[in-house]
């Protein structure tokens, strides 16, 4: 069997993380100058941070990079470790009152650490992706079982050479019946696979157990491939003692980590925008009041998380009493929109007051756009899957809004839903930042409606 160089990756990543941590510490200390009472305390603090990180990393194993290569999953696991590390370090410092450490230095240390790790992991993933696409660092895979499922598996992996899987052989269920058990095991040994994918439909339980035993005895990973095809669903394995159960859910629950970081980001980002952009807010208020009769702000009831109504705020972009005939969706040439309102809408500046909704916890910076009950009822009738979007906080911006744009009718609202459902299945810091950057680009290019 070829040398498995991938076994060196975890220790290299572990040491690299430790180096990056100390670079972040030094950079933060340089930025904030000297906030320690003595040089000895500085050394002790660095030692504490390193020891805690070694302990946390050892427990969480955030340095492991598993197949398939999914950067966001690795970074999410790293974020969990970073949170644990921060809580432990803060607990030791402030509970035992060991050191006097600047809050700014702590902020810069962890911010820079995460930023550097994003760069480091991206480089590692790029190198691994390149190496595996060139045919190196591959794992030899043998497939056993149902031919249809096996073909589906092989086609899927052929589209992703970065996974680094090389299929050496396929043994169908019909061939298994013709092989005596001993011959089958010898054939497996001859192929020297790193992993065996068992595509099961009607495989005998005793054979599955034999394959599991073979994997344990020969250090070969055994993976079961179901004949299920999931669409916008989540699947996870729950072990009840020695009974593995596939848990399917169309409505994934957000973990505490995701909720904590998302809410923290919402608060910090909203405060920064409202404080730094305060003069712009005042200017927009003044221009709105001067260019047409009526208040600067427009209030409207929208439906939030778990069908809870709330009042949304915008800079007014329409004439007063624009909806006296009832709820209506706006269009690009809507006569109800003021001249100044068209500029606000194209630049999305009319949405800025919703940062107040974000601070109040009624909305998030990123999430499906909130709608009115009048349209929600029609959307649910046309697209029942819309109910899923009401289980999370609505957003100031969304993937549907930046990728599809404003909807001018119910059919367009229906078409936009699929973008938000994709976001629902991929809620993480990376996707949120990507949507925010796309929103800024839309604002700068005046491509909003």
Q: What is the pLDDT of residues 109-154, one digit of tens each?
A: 888 998 999 898 888 888 887 777 776 767 788 888 888 888 888 8
Q: For residue range 24-65, what is the model confidence (pLDDT) as tens digits?
A: 988 888 877 654 444 444 677 888 899 999 999 888 888 887
Dmax over Cα atoms in the chain, in whole Å? 88
pLDDT value for 280:
92
Q: Which residues contact 112 (CB under 8 A, 6 or more apart)?
A: 23, 24, 27, 28
Residue 72 and residue 431: Cα distance in Å, rounded? 9
Q: State the average pLDDT over residues 237-262.
A: 69
pLDDT at 79 over 70: yes
Write down the domain spans for the chain: 5-133, 139-227, 256-319+331-444
- Tens of pLDDT, residue by residue over 269-319, are 899 899 988 999 999 999 999 999 999 999 999 999 989 999 999 999 999
Residue 66 pLDDT > 80: no
| Strand 221-225 to 195-199 pairing | parallel
Contact by Cβ (8 Å): 436, 412: no
pLDDT of 449 above 70: no
Cα–Cα distance, 420 to 239 (Å, whole number): 32
Position 5 pLDDT exceeds 60? no
Q: pLDDT for 213-231, tens place per residue? A: 888 888 788 888 876 665 5
Which are the contacts of 169, defined by CB distance < 8 A and separation ≥ 6? 142, 143, 191
Share of the chain above pLDDT 70, in %: 86
Who's near 252: CB < 8 A, 6+ residues apart? 234, 424, 425
Whole-angstrom CA distances from 207 to 145, 168, 300, 441 are 11, 21, 63, 57
Cβ neighbours for 159, distance < 8 A, ≥ 6 positions apart = none
Token match 């980002």: residue? 269
What mean pLDDT, rounded, does the chain reach?
A: 81
Q: What mean pLDDT do residues 353-370 have?
A: 94
Inter-residue contact 131 to 31 (CB < 8 Å): no
CATH class of the domain defined by 139-227: alpha beta
Please report the pLDDT score of residue 34 as a whole number.
55
Q: How far apart are the C-alpha atoms of 139 and 157, rounded to whole Å?
A: 12
For residues 166 and 342, the model is more confident at: 342
């Amino acid at each position: 069997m070829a040398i498995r160089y991938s076994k060196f990756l975890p220790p290299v990543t572990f040491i690299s993380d430790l180096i990056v941590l100390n670079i972040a510490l030094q950079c933060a200390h340089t930025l904030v100058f000297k906030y320690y009472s003595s040089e000895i305390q500085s050394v002790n603090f660095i030692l504490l941070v390193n020891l805690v990180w070694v302990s946390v990393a050892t427990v969480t194993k955030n340095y492991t990079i598993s197949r398939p290569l999914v950067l966001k999953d690795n970074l999410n696991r790293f974020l969990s470790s970073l949170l644990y590390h921060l809580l432990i370090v803060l607990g030791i410092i402030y509970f035992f009152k060991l050191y006097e450490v600047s809050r700014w230095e702590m902020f810069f240390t962890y911010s820079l650490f995460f930023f550097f790790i994003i760069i480091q992991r991206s480089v590692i993933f790029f190198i691994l992706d390149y190496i595996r696409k060139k045919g190196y660092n591959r794992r030899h895979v043998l497939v056993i079982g149902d031919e249809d499922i096996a073909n589906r598996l092989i086609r899927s992996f052929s589209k992703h050479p970065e996974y680094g899987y090389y299929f050496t052989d396929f043994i169908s269920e019909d061939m298994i019946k013709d092989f005596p058990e001993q011959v089958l095991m010898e054939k497996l040994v001859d192929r020297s696979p790193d992993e065996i994918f068992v595509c099961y439909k009607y495989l005998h339980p005793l054979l599955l157990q034999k394959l599991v035993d073979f994997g344990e005895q020969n250090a070969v990973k055994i993976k079961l491939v179901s004949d299920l095809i999931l669409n916008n669903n989540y699947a996870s394995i729950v072990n009840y003692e020695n009974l593995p159960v596939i848990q399917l859910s169309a409505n994934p629950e957000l973990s505490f980590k995701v909720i904590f970081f998302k809410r923290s980001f919402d608060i910090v980002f909203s405060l920064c925008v409202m404080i730094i952009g305060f003069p712009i807010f005042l200017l927009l208020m003044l221009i709105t009041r001067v260019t047409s009769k009526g208040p600067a702000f427009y209030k409207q009831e929208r439906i939030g998380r778990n069908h809870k109504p709330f009042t949304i705020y915008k800079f007014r972009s329409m004439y007063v009493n624009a909806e006296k005939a009832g709820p209506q969706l706006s269009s690009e040439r809507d006569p109800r929109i003021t001249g100044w309102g068209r500029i606000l809408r194209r630049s999305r500046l009319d949405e800025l007051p919703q940062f107040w909704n974000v601070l109040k916890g009624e909305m998030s910076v990123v999430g499906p756009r909130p709608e009115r009950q009048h349209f929600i009822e029609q959307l649910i009738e046309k697209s029942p899957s819309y109910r899923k979007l009401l289980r999370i906080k609505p957003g100031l911006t969304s993937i549907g809004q930046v990728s599809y744009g404003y909807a001018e009718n119910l059919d367009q609202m229906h078409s936009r839903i699929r973008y938000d459902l994709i976001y629902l299945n991929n809620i993480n810091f990376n996707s949120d930042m990507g949507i925010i950057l796309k929103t800024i680009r839309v604002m700068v290019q005046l491509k909003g409606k």
